[in-house]
Structure 1
Amino acid sequence: MSVTQRLSIQWGQSPSSEPTDTLVITSPEGHFVDVRVLKDHEPHDKFPIEWAFCGRTEQVGDGKVNYSHDIDSRQLQGESVDPDVGSVETLANGDEREEGEMTNPATGKVESYVEVWRPLDPNKEDRTPLPKSLVSDINVSVLATVDGQKMNGRVVRVGRWIQGILEFDDDNDKAGNIVDRLAIVRAKATGDIWSKEVSIGSHSDKVPVSDLEGRVLGDTFIYGGIEWAVIEHRRSRTDSIY
């Protein structure tokens, strides 16, 4: 279970940099939503996303983690996506170093990479680094769209942070405009008020943000005309020691 912010990425022997505002929110059962917003984009750009995807993590041994991609913005834009497997280690200061291979969007080639991630305190809305020792109760909810609808969505809440992705399946227009086919949301809570940091896509108002309180595992409900189900819910106690 975590809320992590990427600090940098290094491709091959190139200098490390951070061209995006990237957060990943992951539940105790491994459901995650990863949203990477380009820092340098035109104000009129309706889809300033380098990459956004969701799925589930799986430990595959030797410190390696496999990340499934159930919804992937690059696939929807016609790109092929290679298997996503990285080796992760925790550094002395609590940051996480991930290395592996994947397609560099700048070159279109598979290259080695090193990413540095910083775990955040899920109960703070100001991106506070996770303390070395933290004992805290954290609200966790994961939503998925109910089968049988022409859309596929996932929402993950950990503490005061939520990210969600909603894909619309248009049988008549598989190569339709990405802003009509994909909705992406990132929100945080200040007190009882949820505010969106990221809201992208024509249907971003259909991604639940503020309607999760009181819902428990197995509940279904309608939001924005779409039926959602609670597939994971708990109030977890975290104890971070690194």
Structure 2
Amino acid sequence: MGDISHREYIRWLPEGSSEPTSTIVLTSPERRFVDLRILRAPSSSPYYASDSSSDVFGDDLPLSRLDWAIAGTSTSTVRDSEDGTGRRVQVRHSRWHHWIDSRTRNAEEASDQGDMYTQDDTRTLERGRMVNPATGLETEYEEMWRSEPAHDTPASLAVCVVLEFHDDAAGKRGMVVRLGQYCQGFLREGDQLTAERLKCIRGGERERDAAEGRGGSAWIIQAKIGYSEMPTDFATDFGHEAEVGDEVKVGGNFWRVVEKSGV
């Protein structure tokens, strides 16, 4: 099954935990994923939200707000381990195979793996080692992830659709994952990056919706960085009708549906 994961915090040991970003990972049933980590706005910014849980930023964010964007596939194995208190537990060791990476053009060379410890029905603690961008040093880290269930939208039952585009000779790759009420896309064209997150908001879910008299539901752009076009509208509006192998031309690029399923 697919997964919608929100990061609650990151901790670079031995320092305390914090969450400077809005991070959501959409993973399809066949384990394709788009991971967008968008830096929260400072209080002086017009995008600042006093409600720290708000993920609505804007559709013209500068590249400086992109902490990290990744797209690729993931694999997992299960093994026995200790949980830190001496108890034996089953741990899921996960690897994320980068196909596109905002931090490097050599995405496949990135090492990304961690051990996943189930905390409760919705929360999972990830532990591992990776380079801390603030220091440039490989450091032990912890990340707490919270899963959100995929739900139906007005146009369809909960659905997952994945589109990909690549022109490796031109240094271009892109992936869009729509999973239930969320859709995320990431496109790299040489050094040019575009990342986008949308969510289907139910009427009255936010005070602003009620104030504007929106009683229905609508897909809103929560955040967009960059100016290239991706088939996010196709995924949100027509994803329930798409079939594997379908192609759609957007921004001069031909994107192919590589996965489609219910969730």
CA, structure 1 residues 162+149, in 2 after alignment: closer, same or farther (shift >3 Å)? Answer: farther
1:47-103 CA-partner distances (Å, limit 9, x unpaired): 111111111001144220000111111114x99974101111211252011000011
Residue by residue, what CA displacement relative to the aligned partner does 1:201-224 show, whole Å, maximum 9, x if unpaired?
121xx1111213121111111122
CA-CA distance at 1:147 after TM superposition: 4.5
CA distance in 2, matches of 1:79, 1:228: 20
Structure 1 residues 161 and 210: alpha-carbon distance in aligned structure 2, compared to 1, 3 A threshold: same
Counterpart CA distance in 2 for 1:223 and 1:80 is 26
Distance 1:156 1:97 in 2: 24
> Residue 257 of structure 2 corresponds to which residue in structure 1?
230
Among 206, 211, 221, the residue aligned to 2:248: 221
Gaps spanning 5+ residues in structure 2: where?
47-60, 80-91, 202-215
1:51 pairs with 68, 82, 106, which one?
68
Higher-Rg structure is 2
Whichever structure has more helix as a proportion of its residues is: 2
Say which SS state the counterpart of residue 29 (structure 1) adopts: coil
2:112 aligned partner = 84
Q: Is 1:209 paired with 2:209?
A: no
Structure 1 residue 198 and structure 2 residue 223: aligned? Answer: yes
Confirm or deny that 1:184 pairs with 2:184: no
CA 1:122–1:37: 2 relative to 1, 3 Å:
same
TM-score of the superposed pair, with normalisation by structure 2: 0.74
* Aligned Cα root-mean-square deviation (Å): 2.5
Percent identity among equivalent residues? 32
- Counterpart of 1:23 in structure 2 is 24
When normalised by structure 1's length, the TM-score is 0.80
1:211 aligns to what SS in structure 2? helix
Cα gap change, 1:35/1:115 in structure 2, threshold over 3 Å: closer, same or farther? same
Closer, same or farther in 2 for the Cα pair 1:109/1:148, shift >3 Å? closer
Could you tell me how far apart the structure 1 residues matched to 2:6 and 2:152 are? 13
Q: 1:138 to 1:149 in 2, by over 3 A?
A: farther
